[in-house]
């Protein structure tokens, strides 16, 4: 029936959005983490930490 079809469709859409969001978030996180890691190792090599 139409109702169950709609529900499955909504679930699939939610799954796709979830995957996209996770992917986007991971990319954003890497963009922030890589410079921070580089900064820490840079400072570390000069013996400040």
pTM equals 0.49
Residue-wise pLDDT for 24-37, tens only, equals 999 998 888 888 88
Report domain extents, the chain. Answer: 1-36
The CA radius of gyration of the chain, in Å to the nearest whole number, is 21
Residue-wise pLDDT for 2-22, tens only, equals 677 777 778 888 899 999 999
Residue with the two structure tokens 């996209």:
20
44 vs 3, higher pLDDT: 44
Residue with the two structure tokens 């921070």:
36
pLDDT tier at 43, thresholds 50, 70, 90:
confident
Please give the Cα distance from 20 to 35 (Å, whole number).
24
Q: Does the pLDDT of residue 49 top 70, yes or no?
A: no
Task: With CA atoms as reference, report the closest residue to 49 among 36, 32, 40.
Answer: 40
Q: Are 20 and 26 in contact (CB under 8 A)?
A: no
């Amino acid at each position: 029936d139409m109702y169950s079809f709609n529900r499955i469709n909504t679930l699939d859409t939610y799954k796709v959005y979830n995957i996209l969001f996770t992917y986007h978030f991971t990319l954003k996180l890497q963009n922030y983490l890589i410079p921070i890691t580089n900064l820490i190792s840079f400072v570390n090599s000069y013996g400040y930490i």
